[in-house]
Structure 1
């Protein structure tokens, strides 16, 4: 498992993360088996959010109930969670009061005294960055949060926060897979008049911005073909891509899911892949892509097979 120090922090992180948004209905044994498989593969980093589950903080609570980590076991795991979505609205809330209240709820649910990384989940159009800065300062001073980041934010939204927030913005969690890759594909198609792939809105350059500012991109839904439109692995809708995945899987002696993971981890931005599966075998298979040495021709072949244009 390839690891690195999360920029701006002292957190040693693997480049594959175990996402736990779907464990609400899993038994304690199933959760333990999932986490144990991930740990055996070198994945000691888990991703939560306050809204994951059928009720607020449910998945965080189920994780704590199932694992019952000792202090030493807790120290060996990096725990990340998110704040800012109010599902009952629905709306977003980055106010000082909401951020602090949500973190307190996460700490109780996780049965821990601190969150290692806290992300602002989705951009709040009414954000007052001074409020965010005050919340971050108080949470850090109290030892309740070690590091901070965002999710689904554009470069300019991050820059607005960076003007006020004293802490390093260490993470931006974004949807990315070989088939859902606008943050990569738009740059490849730059200056191609009339090509839909070249369409750039405010999110343009998000990956380059992250690299320039030492922000780690965490790729969520790494096997989704589009925005929550089903996985591409084994899908009849993606025959060319699956043919390439199967051929490279055979070459490297790994399952196709490892090759799909490697398409992301091969990128020099040193991204993390957030696995959303609750199947231990798929976690183990995906983890094999952590340091799979795809060549440049292989990386671009997968990119083209996924339907992206290369001029």
Structure 2
């Protein structure tokens, strides 16, 4: 497993994160097996959110973790707060953040989160209120590091004006199919394609400039919830290149798709949301692959893009 140190954040963390959104589908015993499998593959970073199964993902993890034989200090536990689809709003108020953290700690059966991310922007957020809340969480020892998810440069700047703690992560969507983070910078000033549309205000470069580690979510997905592009009939050219490079490096096509993300010099992490141990092993094999400059572009073009 490839390990990395996060600037101003946790050290010696795995470049692959196990995303636990689908963990509610497992029994406690199955969840323990999945956590142990991830650890055996070198993963020490586990991503949660209060919205995943309305807390059930954290509950399942908390019940399963004692069965693994792992120690709390062996793992990085991250959770996210702020999404409330049940009541039709996003909420970054102090009351909600504090209640969310306490709920996560109870469900995960731990006394602290290594990382707390604000999960998608509450457009009514008060940065001074958030700063006060982060101070309370840090002082109490309930949260060690802070970050955001799906947040723009302007929103980050507004937060940073008041928040004293470094914001060390931004969780953003990125895959060979959903490559908007990269597209706008390549197709700049090009009216022949909508890929030149700046959909995120240059967040990739912003994060690199400000030492914010990007965590790529849905790294194998078509759009948000339309399945995986690996072996999908609508992506024959991409799958041909994935297969060719997989044969060259002795890994599955899935590993090559993840290696494409890890090859980027931004030093991103990739979130693996699978609850299948064999699939997770294939994903982790990505850390054994160092794609060449040419191969990275070959994959990008095979996914349906072109050089302007």
TM-score, reference length from structure 2: 0.97
Moved more, 67-76 or 204-213: 67-76
CA deviation profile, 1:67-124 (whole Å, cap 9, x unmatched): 2269971110000000001121211110011100100000000000000000000110
What is the aligned partner in structure 1 of residue 61 from structure 2?
A: 63
- Match 1:98 to one of 96, 99, 122: 96
What is the aligned partner in structure 1 of residue 230 from structure 2?
A: 233
More helix by share: 2
Cα contact 2:34–2:277 (8 A) shared by 1: yes
Cα contact 2:147–2:167 (8 A) shared by 1: yes
What is the aligned partner in structure 2 of residue 5 from structure 1?
A: 5
Q: State the Cα distance separating 1:25 from its structure 2 match.
A: 2.3
What is the aligned partner in structure 1 of residue 262 from structure 2?
A: 265
Alpha-carbon distance in 1 for matches of 2:254, 2:227: 14
- Match 2:284 to one of 282, 287, 297: 287
Q: Aligned in 2, Cα 1:91/1:25: closer, same or farther, shift over 3 Å? A: same
Tell me the SS of whatever aligns to 2:300: helix
TM-score, reference length from structure 1: 0.96
Alpha-carbon distance in 2 for matches of 1:113, 1:308: 47
What is the aligned partner in structure 2 of residue 185 from structure 1?
A: 183
CA deviation profile, 1:147-181 (whole Å, cap 9, x unmatched): 00000111111111111110001000001101101
Quote the RMSD (CA, aligned, Å): 1.3
Cα contact 2:33–2:68 (8 A) shared by 1: no
Cα contact 2:168–2:212 (8 A) shared by 1: yes
What is the aligned partner in structure 1 of residue 122 from structure 2?
A: 124
Unaligned runs of 5+ in 1: none
Q: Aligned in 2, Cα 1:25/1:10: closer, same or farther, shift over 3 Å? A: closer
What is the aligned partner in structure 2 of residue 21 from structure 1?
A: 21
Tell me the SS of whatever aligns to 2:232: coil
Cα contact 2:35–2:68 (8 A) shared by 1: no
Cα contact 2:148–2:170 (8 A) shared by 1: yes
Q: State the Cα distance separating 1:186 from its structure 2 match.
A: 1.1
Alpha-carbon distance in 1 for matches of 2:187, 2:33: 43
CA deviation profile, 1:201-255 (whole Å, cap 9, x unmatched): 4x12110000000000000000002122211011001010000000100000001
- Match 1:109 to one of 107, 131, 134: 107
Alpha-carbon distance in 1 for matches of 2:51, 2:198: 30
